[in-house]
Amino acid sequence: MKILISNDDGVAAPGLKVLADALAEVGEVIVVAPDRNRSAASSSLTIDVPLRVTKSSLGYFAVSGTPADCILIAHHSVLKGELPDIVVSGINMGANLGDDVIYSGTVAAAIEGRFLGVPALAMSMASRQCNHLETAGMVAKQLTEQLLREDLGKDRILNVNVPDIALDELRGFKVTRQGHRNRDNVVVPARDSRNKPIYWLAPPATGKDAGEGTDFHAIEHNFVSITPLHVDLTAYQAFDQVSSWVSELSL
């Protein structure tokens, strides 16, 4: 088994090593990650400058690009065109709940793996402190083994969030839907040392749609949250409505 691992926190992030160590018990791990923190890079690709690849002291490949770049470089260069059996991304140092999924580079690496045609899994620890990364490592190992036994099918990935608690404190697993975050205070104005206006994008707000059944709710109650995602964004439920509009349009 060849397991391709990436993240968006960068090649030096502790969560990456915990994931690589946990999955080394499942198969051969190949780690290809951004050379620095690229959180919130989403699925962006680097097309304006060439990419460079260096090797870290741990034998990880560090790419001067985004998580999505890393998966492409891994497939076409590091693995010389060979496909990995699975792509696992993380362990992100922070939650990827609700709308975060759209912005997340962690999820994007999994999506890029899915585009290659292999099963893929995004792992995040729902805490900035990350005191219990090994809990997420254990969860990642089990879910990787499961996905290797039984693929979800093309277009589908798993987005997994793990509460930052010891393994024996976990209450179990919940299959969840994406909630939504509040949209208040997204931009925080401030002043630089020359009194010029600057703006910080604020850290993620709390959950707004965070009730039972959501990823937020599972984490809040010390469950592992597993959200199956599909990469196809088509809103099939809107087909009839949009079709009826189209029938009234004229050329």
Structure tokens at 2: 């060849």
CB of 112 to Mn ion, least distance (A): 15
Binding mask 73-92 for Mn ion (x = CB under 5 A): -------------------x
Q: How far is the CB of 76 from Mn ion (least distance, A)?
A: 24
Q: How many residues does the chain have?
A: 251
| 96 near Mn ion, rule: CB under 5 A | no
Are 133 and 100 a contacting pair, CB within 8 Å? no
161 binds Mn ion (CB under 5 A): no
Of 3, 6, 9, 15, the one binding Mn ion by CB under 5 A: 9
Site string for Mn ion, 24-63 (x = CB under 5 A): ---------------x------------------------
Residues 6+ apart with CB under 8 A from 149: none
Nearest to 88 by CA among 27, 47, 41, 135: 27
CB 94 to Mn ion: min, Å = 6
Least distance (Å) between residue 155 CB and Mn ion: 24
- Give whichever of 129 and 244 is closer to Mn ion, judged by the CB atom: 129
Q: How far is the CB of 150 from Mn ion (least distance, A)?
A: 28
Please report, for residues 62, 89, 100, 105, 168, the alpha-carbon distance to residue 56 in angstroms, rounded to integers and kept in the order given: 7, 18, 29, 21, 34
Q: How far is the CB of 67 from Mn ion (least distance, A)?
A: 9
| Look-up of token digits 């409505």 | 241
Q: Does 100 bind Mn ion (CB under 5 A)?
A: no
Q: Which of 4, 6, 8, 223 binds Mn ion (CB under 5 A)?
A: 8
Is residue 208 within 8 Å of 186, Cβ to Cβ?
A: no
Among candidate residues 136, 87, 140, the one with its CA nearest the CA of residue 116: 87
Cβ atoms of residues 152 and 34 within 8 Å: no
By CB under 5 A, residue 127 contacts Mn ion: no
| H or E stretch at 160 | strand 156-162
* Closer residue to Mn ion (CB): 201 or 235: 201
Selected range binding Mn ion among 2-10, 72-80, 142-150, 228-236, rule: CB under 5 A: 2-10
For 172, the 3-state DSSP assignment is strand
- Point out which residues bind Mn ion (CB under 5 A): 8-9, 39, 92
